[in-house]
Chains A and B, each alone.
Chain A
């Protein structure tokens, strides 16, 4: 299958000139005297967090737009430079607080790449299972809130009910429902608890039925179809030029998923399909999200089977220089006590170098650029936030749309403002 599908969504490029992220009013199409500038957000319930849009309206038509971000900037990257490597793991999931497990995985993978650590296979498969569960959870939040914004309030409750079931699984594994800090440099913080795979399997049995039900609610709803089909167009060429990723890219007819194209963890050992749609509108983005939930359930099932086979195997690498020693040894072994003390006070050191690690998060290409000077703290941490990139497309996708569709389109970009602002 070709990477870019042949269908043309529109001819040429719609990326505004000279600034790709600002849509200026075209004086030939609009009478400048009729323009009303409206400030949208940052505290507006339907803008997905603190996104601010400055919209120029001609009647109900959007004639100009610019997105303003930064209202949730908290300086994660600066803070992480001041923490030791293993303390800064705590920050990563809080950046994209909806795809928390994916971000935790990303940071841990980047540190492991610099360390050159080989992670035990039980940890690899457990990471895959939890990251895919997180993908379903993230898509459910997206679906629930996007439908809510278009008036389908009941779907919001259904989605959050299923989301709760996933958070229960996270609580079972890591002790907390979000921001688990369950992935550790070298493996997992603890082994998966007994009975986890059974609980997760029960969820996997229930979830595809739920997805079918959600689709039944929306796909037979004339309002939903009317408001999503043919709205917010983005061509494959423009999507690539604007560095769009994840569902945005796959809805525009680009068959690109890092799990298939450049596999990490053990994604080359599981069977799953990459959903690709070719109309590049809000409806296709919704379809990609729905199909991905089904595919993620498929992946989770395969992971659970493998995890059952690997029951009792080590879940973290046996390297006392980077991994806390088992608690019970602290009472009997002096050397263990020293290792424990050194890890907790100074942390471990990471060889000098820089690395860029990328994973397919629920929102697409999530990257982490790390620089180490050989000391116990990161010299530089930089996250490539898929939401940040997605919002760059705002000016391209809203052209000549109606103000009411603006909500549907902004929601379909799936921005998480913590991720965009960091």
Chain B
């Protein structure tokens, strides 16, 4: 924990079986990442993952068969939780997986929390590898990266509507041609 004491903009530090996650203020993300790259030696951006927490923990706690909050006996697998998961600060999280390629290897996760439509600064100037990772997060999850030089869709077609990995985007929601469904 002390190893990352000087990182600017850290809101919260979490540990899980030896792996550290730093939650960073989105407005100070670039500052924090520059520090991690130049001072802490994290020279490799492994991945960027955006997650949508819409509806997180709304299923309620299991217990009474047939209750609205718990289980629907006609739908196996619809049971509630053993305990309600901890609430999340905002709807979206973006996690940056950093790696230090050196004789003293280490991994670190930096995460920021965002509301729908709230932008976050692009990391392309810090690690060029962020280019496609951020385009993917924009394409599939609708996270806006400010200052990205080419923020266009990458996996879906250019004229696609919506961001498919969001929780309010249905599975199999795309119109099927010639299916008389329109």
A residues within 8 Å of B by Cβ?
2-3, 15, 18-22, 69-70, 73, 75, 77-79, 81-82, 84, 113, 240-243, 254, 256, 261-262, 345-347, 349, 352-356, 358, 365, 367, 369, 371, 373-377, 379-380, 382, 384, 388-389, 391-392, 421-422
A384 to B130, CA, bound (A): 12
Closest to B109 in A: A356
| Stretch in contact with the other chain, from B2-10, B27-35, B81-89 | B81-89
With A243-B127, A375-B59, A380-B51 in contact, do A262 and B105 touch (Cβ < 8 Å)?
A: yes
Cβ of B100 to closest chain A Cβ, rounded Å: 10
Apart from A19-B131, A242-B128, A380-B49, 13 more pairs, CB < 8 Å: A21-B131, A73-B155, A77-B165, A78-B164, A84-B77, A240-B101, A355-B16, A356-B97, A367-B46, A371-B51, A373-B81, A377-B77, A391-B132
Known: A70-B154, A70-B157, A375-B59. Is A78-B171 also a contact (CB below 8 A)? yes
Please tell me which one of the listed residues B51, B86, B124, B156 contacts residue A73 in the complex, with CB atoms under 8 A apart: B156
Which residues of the partner chain B approach A70 to less than 8 Å between Cβ atoms? 153-157
**Distance from B65 Cβ to chain A, minimum over Cβ atoms (Å):** 13
A392 touching B129 by the CB < 8 A rule? yes
Residues of B close to A392: CB separation below 8 A: 128-129, 131-132
Q: Is the pair B154, A376 in contact by a Cβ cutoff of 8 Å?
A: no
Tell me whether A22 and B150 are in contact in the complex, defined as CB-CB below 8 angstroms, given that A79-B171, A240-B43, A371-B51 are known contacts.
yes
CA distance A19 to B150 in the complex (A): 7
Chain B residues, Cβ within 8 Å of A355: 16, 19
Q: Are B129 and A242 in contact (CB-based, < 8 A)?
A: yes
User: How far is A194 from B129 in the complex, measured between Cα atoms in Å?
Assistant: 46
**Contact status A261-B57, CB under 8 Å:** no
- A2 contact set on B, CB distance < 8 A: 103
Residues of chain B contacted by A256 (CB below 8 angstroms) = 101
Give A191 to B95 CA distance when docked, in angstroms: 38
The one of A75, A242, A254, A373 in contact with B101, judged by C-beta atoms closer than 8 angstroms, is: A254
Q: Is B102 an interface residue, CB under 8 A from the partner? A: yes
Give the interface size class of chain B: 35 or more
Chain A residues with CB below 8 A from B59, complex form: 375
A345→B75 CA distance, assembly (Å):
9
How long is the Cα–Cα vector from A225 to B101 in the complex, in angstroms?
31
CB-based contact A421/B77 at 8 Å: no
Instruction: Assess the A384–B101 pair: CB atoms within 8 A.
Output: no
B57 / chain A contacts, CB cutoff of 8 Å = 373
Cα–Cα distance between A267 and B156 once the two chains are bound (Å): 38
> Inter-chain contact count A-B, CB under 8 Å?
129
The smallest beta-carbon distance between A180 and chain B, in angstroms, is 25
Q: When chains A and B are docked, how far (Å) is the Cα of A384 from the Cα of B155?
A: 14
Which residues on A sit within 8 Å (CB–CB) of B97?
A: 356, 367, 369, 384
Is A356 touching B154 in the complex (CB atoms < 8 A)? no
Q: Are B127 and A358 in contact, CB atoms less than 8 angstroms apart?
A: no
Are A82 and B102 in contact, with the CB atoms below 8 A? Answer: no
B57, B99, B105 — which one has the most chain A CB atoms within 10 A of its CB? B99
Among candidates A354, A358, A373, residue contacting B46 with C-beta atoms closer than 8 Å: A358
Distance A267 CA – B39 CA, assembled complex (angstroms): 31
Considering only residues 56-82 of chain B, those with a C-beta below 8 Å from chain A are: 56-57, 59, 76-77, 79, 81-82
Q: Does A20 lie within 8 Å of B16, measured CB to CB?
A: no
CB distance from B35 to the nearest CB of A (A): 17
Give Cα A391 to B81, complex, Å: 41
Bound-state CA distance A22–B128 (Å) is 12
Does B36 lie at the interface of the complex (its beta carbon under 8 Å from any beta carbon of A)? no
Report yes or no: B155 in contact with A15, Cβ–Cβ below 8 A: no
Give complex CA distance A203, B52 in Å.
47
Cβ B85 vs Cβ A373 within 8 A: yes
B101 touches A3 (CB 8 A): yes
Q: How far is the CB of B86 from chain A (nearest CB, A)?
A: 7
- 0 or 1 for each of B117-145: is its CB under 8 Å from A? (1 = yes): 00000001001110110001000100000
Docked CA distance A375–B57 (Å): 10
Are B56 and A243 within 8 A (Cβ)?
Answer: no
Give the shortest distance, in Å, between A234 (CB) and chain B (any CB): 13
User: Would A356 and B129 be within 8 Å (CB), given that A243-B44, A374-B83 are in contact?
Assistant: no
Write the chain A residue with the least CB distance to B111. Answer: A354
Inter-chain contact B155/A369, CB cutoff 8 Å = no
Contact across chains for B128 and A15 when beta carbons are under 8 A apart: yes
B17 to chain A, nearest CB (A): 7
| Nearest CB of chain A from residue B98's CB, rounded to whole Å | 10
Partner of B77, one of A345, A358, A391: A345
Q: For the complex formed, measure the closest distance between the CB of B69 and the CB atoms of chain A, giving whole angstroms.
A: 14
B155 and A367 contacting across the interface, CB-CB below 8 Å: no
Q: How far is the CA of A347 from the CA of B103 in the complex (A)?
A: 42
A82 with B171, Cβ < 8 A, contacts A241-B128, A261-B105 known: yes
Question: How many angstroms between the C-alpha atoms of A275 and B149 in the bound complex?
Answer: 36
Residues of B within 8 A of A18 (CB): 149
Least CB distance from A59 to B in Å reads 27
Chain A residue numbers with a CB within 8 Å of B51 are: 354, 371, 379-380, 382
A367 to B101, CA, bound (A): 15
Q: B164 to A379, Cβ gap below 8 A? A: no
Q: Which residues of A contact B107 (CB under 8 A)?
A: 262, 356, 358
Measured CA separation A353–B164 after assembly (Å) = 23
Which residues of B sit under 8 angstroms from A84, Cβ to Cβ? 77
> Chain B residues near A421 (CB, 8 Å)?
155
Q: With A3-B101, A79-B171, A353-B16 as given contacts, are A345 and B129 in contact (CB-CB < 8 Å)? A: no
Closest-CB distance, A276 to chain B (whole angstroms): 13
